[in-house]
Amino acid sequence: MPRESLKYLLIAAASIGFVILPFVLESNYLLSILIIIGIYTLVVEGLGVLMGYAGQVSFGQAAFFGIGAYAVAILTTRYSWGTIPAFLAAIVLPALVAAVIGRPTLKLKEHYLALATLAIGILVHIFFNEGGELTGGPSGLTGIPYLKIGGLVFDQDYKFYYLIGVFVLLVFLGVRNLDRSRIGRSLRAIRDSEVAAEANGINSAALKLKAFVFSAFLAGLGGGIYAYYITFISPAPFNFNMSIQFVIMAVIGGLGTIWGPLLGVSLMVALGEVLRWLVPLFIPNAGGEYQIIFYGLILVLTMIFKPEGLSTGWRKKTVSDSEEQEQKKENLTVSIRR
Amino acid sequence: MNILDVNGLKVFHGHAQALRGVTFHARKGEIVAVLGANGAGKSTLLGALSGIYNAKAGEVVFNGKPINRRTSGYIVKQGLILVPEHRQIFNTLTVQDNLLLGAFHRYNKDKSILYEDMERVLETFPALQGKEQQTAGILSGGLQQMLAIGRGLMANPKLLMLDEPSIGLAPMVVAEIMTALRKLREDGTSIILVEQNAAAAFKVADRAIVIERGQVVISGKPGELVNDERVQQAYLGRTRDQAGTVAMAL
């Protein structure tokens, strides 16, 4: 079968599978896991653009995810906003915060930038904890209403499943277009060589800021949906550990790829669920902190055996691949001698 | 007529002063070689001229316009283009994407013009022909250097600045690149060529300057510089007698 036909056949099968899945699954538990995978995919897709295209690392993604979730929670429960305006605020607010803090932060390079984003994540988490009545402190906020769009109320898992499916699809299409656009090429140029990008007239500071804002925008989108889905939020899901997990998901799936975030998130969420069941069998009363050890292990193994991520490079090696490898080795030798 | 006038340019990297009042000029349609040891300030000079580094003092006039403290985007639009040290091609992009990014500032114009320009670049460097869809990172060092220069040409430069284009390349490839530079000069492009390979630079340059510790210490025509004892010892590694032979060859 021609490759193109096979591709369309697979897309058609996946679409049918996606539509009928809620009717086939008997367990709401599995559906809720798929919804969480969808929400995290939005967040990690943004991080994938920031890290994979612009080459900037961020350990503060959970903060933007949290700002989106808290925006929905505070505006609907404290200020009685409608669910749609609150949802829009959940998307816009993290992007605005990213635009303000991104300007000075993105001037930093490499580990200094990583440390700055880590600090932002910690500060925002402290605000969630210490925000008093506004944020509900460590207890969080309850009573978030269900999302209403027109006459449709998202009060059941299968409705959220389709909603998140639509958002993930739109984000995939957006990232695919970005990949093929002038901005996508320019971002990858910055990642490969910022000096050369500047020398070609590419405003690297402005483009990195745009990528940072876009990544926060997607994190806010995920956070808003998360708040409406769970209907209760507390600071715990938006802490430093979560930021680390988002980074691991992005790296394991493959940076600068469209499908990588979905793959990375699926693996990590599935692993988390298995560990939640498995670890207490061996270590009674074990908390969630044990999971991070396994996440670290998975990251190390991926870095050793598949550093480009699990979503790329699985095709069979050809003669030209070997020639490519030889050329890369030669270029490396020349640069080392230099 | 001068295309570039640099007066008293001072640049600092943190507290360290990299350029201590550099003054020189480049005329339209000539190749000016810039020589100097590692750390002399050559790359900083090019970085400052192209807007990557901010100058603390001094004046830079390009094609009649002051470009001090202007962004690199503005400077590129004026036609002052840098081909940075160590090629710095965009490794993960294709050869074609690398070339198109060279024309970043005129993307909004008619795309067919960009493709025509790309054809012209490929005529200048025939070794790149047929490799347009190849990932740039897997090209040989020589092809990568040609691509880096080609990317610079895509910006339609009035003055092209090359930072050590011969570094790490085989003599035959260096000769090919120098031939291309001569052709560019014939077509009217001015060139500033930063090199440690003084012999190769002298063969194509119309004038040369030598930078030491952030200052221009010698300037003149290659034929004159080749007889300068300091240049012979530092950059040609020759005695006065041997240098005479080189001078005759020039």
Q: What pLDDT is attached to residue B157?
A: 95
Average pLDDT over residues A45-70: 94
Asked if residue A274 belongs to a domain, the reply is no
Asked if residue A261 belongs to a domain, the reply is no
pLDDT surpasses 80 at A271: yes
pLDDT surpasses 60 at A336: no
Q: pLDDT tens digit string along A193-205? A: 998 999 999 999 8
Average pLDDT over residues A212-224: 96
Q: How confident is the model at residue A316 (pLDDT cuts 50, 70, 90)?
A: low
**pLDDT over 70, % of chain A:** 91
Closest CA to B118 of B151, B157, B77: B151
Average pLDDT over residues A285-298: 78
pLDDT surpasses 70 at B94: yes
Closest CA to B19 of B2, B49, B145, B101: B49
Q: What pLDDT is attached to residue B181?
A: 94
pLDDT surpasses 80 at B246: no
Chain centroid to CA B186? 16
pLDDT surpasses 80 at A261: yes
Average pLDDT over residues B106-112: 76
Asked if residue A224 belongs to a domain, the reply is yes
CA distance A273 to A291: 10
Average pLDDT over residues A126-135: 95
Smallest CA–CA distance, residue A39 to chain B, in Å, is 30
Average pLDDT over residues A261-289: 86
pLDDT surpasses 50 at B199: yes
The answer to whether residue B114 neighbours chain A at the CB level (below 8 Å) is no
Q: What single letter denotes the amino acid at residue A86?
A: A
Could you identify the residue written with the tokens 């740039």?
A: B136
Sorted by sequence, the CB contacts under 8 Å of residue B135 that are 6+ apart come out as: A324, B91, B92, B93, B94
**Low-confidence winner among A52-56, A218-222, A284-288 (lowest mean pLDDT):** A284-288
Smallest CA–CA distance, residue B77 to chain A, in Å, is 8
Q: How confident is the model at residue B248 (pLDDT cuts 50, 70, 90)?
A: very low
**pLDDT over 70, % of chain B:** 93
Decide: B205 and B31 in contact? Cβ < 8 Å.
yes
Q: Which residues of chain A lie closer than 8 angstroms to B148, CB-CB?
A: 196
pLDDT surpasses 90 at B221: yes
Q: What pLDDT is attached to residue A174?
A: 95
pLDDT surpasses 50 at B247: no
Q: What pLDDT is attached to residue A106?
A: 80
CA distance B196 to B198: 5
The answer to whether residue A191 neighbours chain B at the CB level (below 8 Å) is yes
The conformation of residue A256, written as its DSSP 8-state character, comes to: T
The answer to whether residue A185 neighbours chain B at the CB level (below 8 Å) is yes
Q: pLDDT tens digit string along A85-104? A: 999 999 999 999 999 998 88
Asked if residue A302 belongs to a domain, the reply is no
Smallest CA–CA distance, residue B241 to chain A, in Å, is 31
Closest CA to A61 of A203, A261, A254, A258: A261
Asked if residue A200 belongs to a domain, the reply is yes
Q: Which domain holds residue A33?
A: 3-239
**pLDDT over 90, % of chain A:** 64
- Mean pLDDT (chain A) is 89
Q: What pLDDT is attached to residue A277?
A: 84
Residues 50-69 (B) with a CB less than 8 A from some CB of A: 50-52
Asked if residue A278 belongs to a domain, the reply is no
Q: pLDDT tens digit string along A44-57? A: 999 999 999 998 98
- Taking CA atoms, B30 is separated from A117, B99, B156, B184, in Å, by 48, 25, 16, 10
Q: What pLDDT is attached to residue A325?
A: 58
- Taking CA atoms, A258 is separated from A40, A62, A170, A190, B144, in Å, by 14, 20, 12, 19, 28
Smallest CA–CA distance, residue A206 to chain B, in Å, is 12
CA distance B212 to B40: 5
Average pLDDT over residues A250-271: 93
Could you identify the residue written with the tokens 């090359």?
A: B162
Sorted by sequence, the CB contacts under 8 Å of residue A90 that are 6+ apart come out as: A67, A68, A69, A71, A72, A220, A221, A223, A224, A227
pTM to 2 decimal places: 0.84
CA distance B19 to A50: 35
Asked if residue A252 belongs to a domain, the reply is no
Average pLDDT over residues A319-326: 55
CA distance A201 to B156: 12
Q: pLDDT tens digit string along B53-86? A: 999 999 999 999 999 889 999 999 999 999 999 8
Q: pLDDT tens digit string along B153-186? A: 999 999 999 999 998 888 899 999 999 999 999 9
Q: Closest residue of B to A194, CA-based?
A: B88
Q: What pLDDT is attached to residue A88?
A: 97
pLDDT surpasses 60 at A318: no
The conformation of residue A148, written as its DSSP 8-state character, comes to: E
The answer to whether residue A257 neighbours chain B at the CB level (below 8 Å) is no
Read off the tokens for B161: 């600045």
For chain A, how many structural domains are there in total? 1
Sorted by sequence, the CB contacts under 8 Å of residue A193 that are 6+ apart come out as: B84, B88, B89, B90, B91
**pLDDT over 90, % of chain B:** 74
Sorted by sequence, the CB contacts under 8 Å of residue A285 that are 6+ apart come out as: none
Q: What single letter denotes the amino acid at residue A266?
A: S
Asked if residue A26 belongs to a domain, the reply is yes
Residues 105-144 (A) with a CB less than 8 A from some CB of B: none
Q: What pLDDT is attached to residue A288?
A: 67
pLDDT surpasses 80 at B245: no
The answer to whether residue A194 neighbours chain B at the CB level (below 8 Å) is no
Shortest CB distance from B138 goes to which of A197, A324, A337?
A324
CA distance B193 to B65: 22
